[in-house]
Amino acid sequence: MKTSTRQVNGVTIVDCSGRITLGEGSVILKDVVRELLSKGQKKILLNLGDVNYIDSSGIGELVSAFTTVRNQGGELKLLNLTKKVHDLLQITKLYTVFDVKDDEASAVKSFS
C-alpha cells in the first residue's frame, strides 16, 4: 500500500492506494496514523478510493486506527470506498461504525 497526506481546512486527508493486508499494508496504515497523532493532527480522512483489497488484518487495522484516534479526542472518517471494501464493511457490520463519506468537500466540512 502507498499513502500520501495533504491538508484541507485543518483536516488531514490520507490518500491510500493498493492493498491493506496482513504485513506491510497494515503496518503502513498504523504508522501513518500514529505519526499524524504525534503531530497533533487528529482530524483524519482516509481516502480509500484506490484501495481495492482489504483482508481481515486490514479491517482490524482500520478499526484500530478509528479507536486510537477517537481515544485521543480526534475523528477518523473514511472516504470513497470501493465496492469491494464497501461490501466487506457491510458484512462485518462495520459500515455503520465508521463514518463513511463519498464526497471530499462535504467530508472535510463534516469534521467538528
Partner 1 sequence: MAKQPPVGTRSSEDSGSTKLYPKIFAMTEQRVSYTLDSTLETVDSAEQAASRIASEAGFDDDEVMRIAMAVREAAVNAVLHGNAYDPGKKVSLAFEQTGGNLVITIRDQGKGLDLEKIPDPLAPENLLKTSGRGIFLIRSFMDEVHISPSQTGTEIKLVKHVHGPSEGVKEASQ
According to CB under 8 A, which one of 5, 22, 49, 110 is a site residue for partner 1?
Answer: 22
Among 4-12, 36-44, 91-99, 100-108, the segment contacting partner 1 (CB under 8 A) = 91-99
- Alpha carbon of 25 to those of 8, 40, 74: distances in Å? 25, 23, 23
Site string for partner 1, 23-62 (x = CB under 8 A): x-------------------------------xxx-xxx-
Q: Reduced to 3 states, what is the DSSP secondary structure of residue 2?
A: strand
The yes or no reply on residue 71 touching partner 1 (CB under 8 A) is no
Helix axes 24-38, 56-71, angle to 10 degrees: 10
**Cell output for 98:** 465508521
Our finding on whether 82 is near partner 1 (CB under 8 A) is: no
Query: Which spans of this chain sit near partner 1 (rule: CB under 8 A)?
Result: 21-23, 55-57, 59-61, 63-64, 66-67, 84, 87-88, 91-94, 97
